[in-house]
Amino acid sequence: YVVKKNISAYEYACRLVERIHHNYRTKVLVVDDSRSAVANLKHYLSIQRLNVLTASNGIEALGVLEQHPDIRLVITDYNMPEMDGFELIQQLRSRFAKNQMAIIGLSSSADPRLSAHFLKSGANDFISKPFSYEELLCRVNQNLEYLEQIDLIRDAANRDYLTKLYNRRYFFEQGESVKRQALRQDRPLSLSMIDIDHFKSINDTYGHSTGDEALKHVAGLLNESFPDDLVARFGGEEFCIMHRRDEGESQQQLENFREKVANSPLPSDSKIRVTVSIGLNGCCDQGLDDIIHLADTKLYQAKEQGRNRLIV
Ligand code: GH3
Ligand code: MG
Ligand code: MG
Ligand code: MG
């Protein structure tokens, strides 16, 4: 951050601490054939608590990225042997989108067209050498902050605001790739639909905010019981799980979950409990819609047979 005249030292320090806290574990790759340039950048970025990796040319950089695909920022020189900065950026952009990884171009060349060329190749930003420590930090932080904002927006778009579980759209998007992966690795999958029983009467008896609390309560138990699975709020008081295990194993887990729900009162009122009905189906090579429909049919049977039960 640039220290402005009107910003108090305290405020500045707070922002810096907040930034450094964010940086902790954030991986940055510095690519330059000049050892002293690499050492210099590494020194300044390490002060910011960034996790700095280094490479001396494009090919080496691609190797480091193979090992660390979670690198969030690449700072690359232009003139390097083996593979120059432009080619490296083009290769990176075929694998990592701009909203996934930031790239800052770096060069001491006097050619004024260089910055435009860097940006056109897919860099987010450009710094010309020599640069001040302050400028480096401003540009690095700005680019990392941009990525963090994108992460927040993406997460907000994928989740349900009330329960913070994934939403229906994300479930379909992710469900298809979980299915493809399971098929490739020949691993079992099963899918369950869960619906809170007589939920309307919770709202009618205790009010809408208690209804909301019950939804959050059930969501918490879902997270606790199925940490490895894809859990989503499907609709009002309906949830859907894609289990990374076969029907038999899921059945046992779901029975435990069902009992846990029935036996845990709401945190705000020990007299209020809810129960859930569940339909479970194995996943074969049908489409996701068809599997959901099958689980839904079983959920309907669970309701018909008296609720607070699981039908496989
Ligand atoms: P059943 O046992 O057959 O499932 O009965 P039910 O009362 O649970 O089912 P019904 O579909 O009749 O009612 C669902 C209710 O869920 C109606 C709706 O007002 C309520 N609901 C949906 N979304 C929310 C929410 O976000 N918050 C609250 N408080 N209520 C919600
Ligand atoms: Mg160079
Ligand atoms: Mg219901
Ligand atoms: Mg319902």
Q: What is the pLDDT of residues 123-140, one digit of tens each?
A: 999 999 889 989 999 999
- Model pLDDT for residues 42-68, shown as the tens digit of each residue: 999 998 889 999 999 999 999 999 999
The answer to whether 215 and 234 are in contact (CB under 8 A) is: no
Q: Whose CA is nearest to atom 11 of ligand 1?
A: 200
Cβ of 125 below 6 Å from ligand 1: no
Cβ of 304 below 6 Å from ligand 1: no
pLDDT of res. 5? 58
Predicted-complex ipTM score: 0.96
Length of the chain: 312
CA distance 147 to 137: 15
Residues with CB under 5 A from ligand 3 (ion): 195-196, 199, 237
Cβ of 198 below 6 Å from ligand 1: yes
The answer to whether 45 and 140 are in contact (CB under 8 A) is: yes
**239: CA distance to ligand 4 center in Å?**
9
207: left (phi over 0), alpha (psi -120 to 50) or beta: left
Q: State the first-to-last Cα distance of the chain, in angstroms, to the nearest integer.
A: 58
- Model pLDDT for residues 177-215, shown as the tens digit of each residue: 999 999 899 999 999 999 999 999 999 999 999 999 999
Cβ of 200 below 6 Å from ligand 1: yes
pLDDT of res. 141? 93
The answer to whether 290 and 308 are in contact (CB under 8 A) is: no
Annotated catalytic residue, options 60, 213, 237, 247: 237
Cβ of 3 below 6 Å from ligand 1: no
pLDDT of res. 264? 97
Q: Which stretches of the chain are DSSP H helices?
A: 9-23, 35-47, 58-67, 85-93, 114-121, 133-158, 168-185, 199-206, 208-225, 247-263, 288-304
Cα torsion through 291, 292, 298, 302, rounded to 10:
150
Q: Which ligand is nearest to the CA of 217?
A: 1
Mean pLDDT of the chain: 93
The band of 311, judged by pLDDT with boundaries at 50, 70 and 90, is: very high
pTM of the entire predicted model = 0.81
The band of 4, judged by pLDDT with boundaries at 50, 70 and 90, is: low
Residues 215, 221, 222, 228: is their CA dihedral positive or negative? positive
Cβ of 212 below 6 Å from ligand 1: yes
**219: CA distance to ligand 4 center in Å?**
15
Closest approach atom of ligand 1 to CA 203: 29
Pocket test for ligand 1, best of 197, 199, 239 (most atoms within 8 A of CB): 199
- Average pLDDT for 228-238: 96
Task: Give the neighbor-by-neighbor strand order of the sheet with 276-282.
Answer: 230-235, 238-243, 190-196, 276-282, 310-311
User: Known catalytic residue: 237?
Assistant: yes
Poorest-pLDDT segment among 22-31, 93-102, 268-277: 22-31
